[in-house]
Amino acid sequence: MAIEKATFGAGCFWGVEARFAEMPGVIDTAVGYEGGDLEHPTYKEVCADRTGHAEVVDVTFDPSRLSFDTLLDAFFSLHDPTQVNRQGPDWGSQYRSVIYTHSDEQVQVARAKIAEFNAAGAYRMPIATKVEPATTFWRAEEYHQRYLEKRGMVHCHI
Active site (annotated) includes residue 47: no
Active-site pick, 6, 12, 46, 72: 12
Contact 59, 100 (CB under 8 A): no
Residues with catalytic annotation?
A: 12
